[in-house]
Each structure stands twice: as C-alpha cells, then as structure tokens.
Amino acid sequence: MVVELVVAGLSAGAVYVMAAARVVRQYERGLVFRLGRLRETVKGPGFTMILPAVERLQKVNMQIVTLPVPAQEGITRDNVTVRVDAVVYFRVVDPVPAIVRVEDYRFAVAQMAQTSLRSIIGKSELDDLLSNREKLNQGLELMIDSPAVDWGVTVDRVEIKDVSLPETMKRSMARQAEAHRDRRARLINADAELMASEKLAQAAERMSATPAALQLRLLQTVASVATEKNSTLVLPFPVELLRFLEGSRDDSGGGGGGGPRARTSASAAPRDGAIDLDLDAEAEADELEDAVEPGKPAPAELPEEVLGELKTGEPPRSRPESEG
C-alpha cells in the first residue's frame, strides 16, 4: 500500500514538473502572467518554472524582423502615378509594452509602414524617388519609428525596394536621356572641331613661312592615298602651289624667257586661281609693237587705226559707209 502511494506521488510530481517546466531561448524573453496579471520580473533565457494552472508564460522574440511592405500606388507631387514597395527592419527592445500596449506589434508596424510609404509618395517628386532614396529612407524610418517607440519597438532601417513607372513615363524618360546624351556628344564633337581648327591654323601658319613644306605635304598625302590601291586618284591643284612655282620661275628666269603669253598667264594665276589662255589678241598686239622699231613708219598694209585696236584689244568698230 505504501509503495503504491509513493509511486502515485512520484507520478504526480513528474507530471507537475513537466507541466511547469519552460525553456526560454537565447533570443527570447518570457513574460509571466499570473491569473491574468503581469509579473514584474521578465524571464531570461534558460530553464524556468511556472505554476501550470495559475501562471502563463508568453515568449517575445527579440530578433530583428524583416517585414516586406506591399507595393503602394500613389501620385507624386509632380502628378506622376507610381507604385513603390519597401522593406522594414525592426526589433523589440522592451517586451512588456510590445505585449501589453499593442495587440499585435507586427501587424501594427506593417500598417504604419504602408501609410507612411503612401505619405512619402505624395510629398516627393519623381526625381527624388529615383535618385534621392537615402533621404526618403530616412524620412520613412522617422515616420514609422515615432509611434513604434511607445510599443517597445525600434526601427533599424527602411529601404525602398522598387519604383514602378507607367510605360508612357518610361518612354519619355528614355527620350530625355537620349537627348541628353546627344547633346553631350555634340558638345564633345564641337570641342574636338575647335581644337582641330586651332591646330590646323598653326600648321598653316608654319607652312606659309616655308612654301616647300606645302609641296612635301601634298606629296605625302598622295603617297598615303596611293597605298589604298585605288584605281582612280583625284589630285587637287592648290593655288598656293602655283604661287610657289611662280616664285621659283621669277627667281630662275628673271621674266624674259617664256614669251608674253606665258608672262600674262603666270601673273593671272595667283590672282584668279586659273590660267587664262584666251589672250591671242593682246599677244599679237605686243608682237606687232615689238616689231615696229622707233623712228620707222608702220607697215602700209596695216593702218594706224588697226594697230591701235590691236594694242588696246578692243573689237573693231564698224566704219561709216561714206568712208568706204
């Protein structure tokens, strides 16, 4: 009989210990409610005992919680419709108000994050949502953390994940970016043309001091073009080269060998840039003038009027019929 009582007592004690034993993990804190009233002591991590029928232990997770905020659609301050989603990182710092003051602190933080995100969308412009997210994250964190302090919750960080734009706005932004790139390319090209013109002006000034350099440069250009194995080669004939050849002729011949036609053509080349070959009348007049010696009359077959017309180069005027 005694043995049976001892066995029954041990069995009841084991059941009581199993019902009263609780284990609190390292990242948790335990709140004990005795008959619905919170005890002042907070159970730390480890093994603890409670009264099974009188007390109730509620564990609170103290880890950082990652809470995704669903995408919220709103209109920015510059009247653009966008969809923005975010993520909130928060943790419980005081388990007592997190359980006593708010029914479900996770749901409360989620609703506060959604309303704060919509408010941020309405106060911001599209450019701020796309390029100035750090400032918006700080403002969103402050808006969520202010009421969450009374709940024993602190917000560690808030990040805007994605900003969805309408297709028309995407195309407009693409055209804007393309125009901006085109403007930069044109400015760079204009700067390059300006620098190249300055260098060309310096090269031309230096070549003008040495006319032989122009001919060498021309030959170098011809040689570089000939390396491409072209069947047709178009060679320009610059006016400066004519000037150089004219100077060389004046230095060597002195101006006496080549006839009056050659002198007239050479003198007209640097002025007009072309050789005038239609000077037969003036050349014949000069030859007749050289043939007539001073003190001798002109040939009888050529009257003075004809000689004068040949010298001046004017067309013969029609004579009156009375003289004929």
| Residue 258 clears pLDDT 70, i.e. is over it | no
- Cα–Cα distance measured from residue 275 to residue 267, given in angstroms and rounded to the nearest whole number: 9
pTM, full prediction: 0.55
User: pLDDT class for 266, splitting at 50, 70, 90?
Assistant: very low
Q: What is the token pair recorded at 251?
A: 């230095």
Environment class of 76 (CB within 10 Å of its CB; exposed 0-12, middle 13-18, buried 19+): buried
Under 8 Å between Cβ of 90 and 153:
yes
Strand order in the sheet with 55-61: 37-43, 28-34, 55-61
In this structure, are strands 65-75 and 81-92 parallel, antiparallel, or unpaired? antiparallel
User: pLDDT class for 237, splitting at 50, 70, 90?
Assistant: low
Neighbours of 289 (CB within 10 A): 11
Transcribe 236-271 into DSSP letters: ---HHHHHHHHHHHHHHHTT-SSHHHHHHHHHHHHH
Which of the pair, 53 or 144, is modelled with greater confidence? 144
Q: Which tens digits make up the pLDDT trace of 7-25?
A: 777 777 777 778 788 888 9
Q: Where are the alpha helices (DSSP H) in the chain?
A: 2-20, 95-100, 105-123, 126-131, 133-148, 167-209, 211-226, 239-253, 259-272, 280-291, 304-312
Q: Which tens digits make up the pLDDT trace of 192-201?
A: 999 999 988 8
Q: Which tens digits make up the pLDDT trace of 273-297?
A: 334 444 454 555 555 455 444 544 4
- Cα–Cα distance measured from residue 228 to residue 222, given in angstroms and rounded to the nearest whole number: 11
What pLDDT was estimated at residue 124? 87
Neighbours of 232 (CB within 10 A): 4
User: pLDDT class for 257, splitting at 50, 70, 90?
Assistant: very low
Q: What is the token pair recorded at 304?
A: 């003075």
What pLDDT was estimated at residue 265? 40
Q: Which tens digits make up the pLDDT trace of 153-163?
A: 999 999 998 88
- Cα–Cα distance measured from residue 155 to residue 86, given in angstroms and rounded to the nearest whole number: 13
How far apart are the two ends of the chain, measured CA to CA in Å? 183
Under 8 Å between Cβ of 176 and 118:
no
Q: What is the mean pLDDT of residues 136-162?
A: 89
What pLDDT was estimated at residue 194? 92
